[in-house]
Structure 1
Amino acid sequence: MTQDERPAGGALARAQHEHWQHTYTEHPGMYGGRPSEAARYAAEVFRAAGARRVLELGAGHGRDALHFAAGGFTVHATDFSPVALDQLAERAEAAGVAVSRAVQDVRRPLALPDASVDAVFAHMLLCMALSTAEIEALVAEVRRVLRPGGTFVYTVRHTGDAHFGTGVAHGDDIFEHGGFAVHFFSRALVDTLTEGWEPVEVHAFEEGELPRRLWRVTQRRPSR
């Protein structure tokens, strides 16, 4: 493992890295082969905006990255789990689509040039075990790598979720259940992350068991 592949941050970040590596190893393809509803929405938004180059953050084993690639986008997928990215590579080869990939801990600067992508997608990546300061720094990095007028679609679990305020508390609205640590977003945090952007939509939805309660946020880097 290279320096850039080692998890940044403290003990919680390292524990989460180990937990996700183990989870993907024990449960390959754990989210199935169908793209998320958020990815289907994002593909339509990106296509309408004329996007060609898509960056996915926290791609996991690739169900959404493969959906974008099959839709004709040039896709660069990142995750901090090499195990997940190996599974993504196998799935891409089997599907006959091209997806470039790289190990990326989003606590570090994104390894891409300025204004190098047309769109960025992140399904429940921002609500991992990231501090508010780390989330703000990541959104600034997303803005940097997006071209002017580029679109950012992300989803996060929010403070209306049934798991918010329960489980193991780590501070900064981060709570852990079953080994998975989640930063639950307040609406104030979402609004803070739109500063300097053109906000398009904040859409509430539910997903999976419990059910998880999320926001899907669409915002655009200003053209000027």
Structure 2
Amino acid sequence: MDDQEEELAAEQRAQWQSTYAAHPGMYGEEPSTAAVHAAGLFRTAGARQVLELGAGHGRDALYFAREGFTVHATDFSPTGLRQLRHAAHEQDVAERISTTVHDVREPLPMPNATVDAVFAHMLLCMALSTGEIHALADEIRRVLRPGGTFVYTVRHTGDAHYGAGTAHGDDIYEHGGFAVHFFPRALVDSLAEGWTLDEVHPFEEGDLPRRLWRVTQTLPG
């Protein structure tokens, strides 16, 4: 990571920390549509354990737990994860959720081939360089069991905010204090090399609306 990337990463960590502190439960209690879809896929695949990357205050992690999965939720915001743990106790699913403060620029904190499924809603399109995204995909491949499923969502270059705001290079644009790496389709395809790419599903979310892809890929057994 060069100095400019490190500075942007530090700014974004501080931005998310202050945002979660100022707006507890900012995304509400209902799960994302991507998480609802992923839960069905994970169940069909026989998964029991889900690793969620970028869990935030936990609306999706809590949903997975309510659906009977054991969830390991990670995020680089201690504030968001505190809110997640509090909600888990209130919803009586605390025994099925563990949390780790973790920046995905670092190696994932679990051994090889120990995870049934990985879920990441709008985590890969944060302020990560293309190299960091590829390194994360390699880490996800490392921790997944053979036949494991990876579901992620990203904003893409067809989004209305692509090209707007402050440009940081590498298809990263900052708008309203939040930096987003907008994915071209070629990046999705390159991340699926060596996997089975099951689906790239376009959908919209939010008021803008944000334009995203929901990507499902499976590690060969």
* Separation in structure 1 between the aligned mates of residue 196 and residue 142 of structure 2, nearest angstrom: 15
1:146 aligns with 2:123: no
Q: 1:207, CA displacement in angstroms?
A: 0.3
TM-score (norm 2): 0.97
1:130 corresponds in structure 2 to 128
TM-score (norm 1): 0.95
Q: 1:209, CA displacement in angstroms?
A: 1.0
1:74 corresponds in structure 2 to 70
1:53 corresponds in structure 2 to 49
Q: 1:133, CA displacement in angstroms?
A: 0.1
* Separation in structure 1 between the aligned mates of residue 174 and residue 180 of structure 2, nearest angstrom: 6
* Separation in structure 2 between the aligned mates of residue 144 and residue 58 of structure 1, nearest angstrom: 18
Deviations 1:131-163 (A, max 9, x none): 000000000000100000000000000000000
SS state of the match for residue 67, structure 1? Answer: helix
* Separation in structure 1 between the aligned mates of residue 66 and residue 15 of structure 2, nearest angstrom: 30
Deviations 1:56-81 (A, max 9, x none): 00000000000000001010000000
- CA RMSD after TM alignment: 0.5
2:115 corresponds in structure 1 to 117
Structure 1 runs of 4+ aligned residues shifted over 6 Å read none
SS state of the match for residue 99, structure 2? Answer: strand
Deviations 1:11-31 (A, max 9, x none): 000000000000000000000
* Separation in structure 1 between the aligned mates of residue 119 and residue 205 of structure 2, nearest angstrom: 17
2:36 corresponds in structure 1 to 40
Give runs of aligned pairs for residues 82-97 of structure 1, distance below 5 A: 82-97=78-93
* Separation in structure 2 between the aligned mates of residue 109 and residue 72 of structure 1, nearest angstrom: 27
1:192 corresponds in structure 2 to 190
Q: Which amino acid aligns with 1:11?
A: E
* Separation in structure 2 between the aligned mates of residue 117 and residue 70 of structure 1, nearest angstrom: 19
SS state of the match for residue 164, structure 1? Answer: coil
1:206 corresponds in structure 2 to 204
* Separation in structure 1 between the aligned mates of residue 71 and residue 8 of structure 2, nearest angstrom: 30
Of the three residues 142, 152, 158, the one matched with 1:160 is 158
2:180 corresponds in structure 1 to 182
Unaligned runs of 5+ in 2: none
SS state of the match for residue 183, structure 2? Answer: coil
1:4 corresponds in structure 2 to none
Q: Which amino acid aligns with 1:77?
A: A
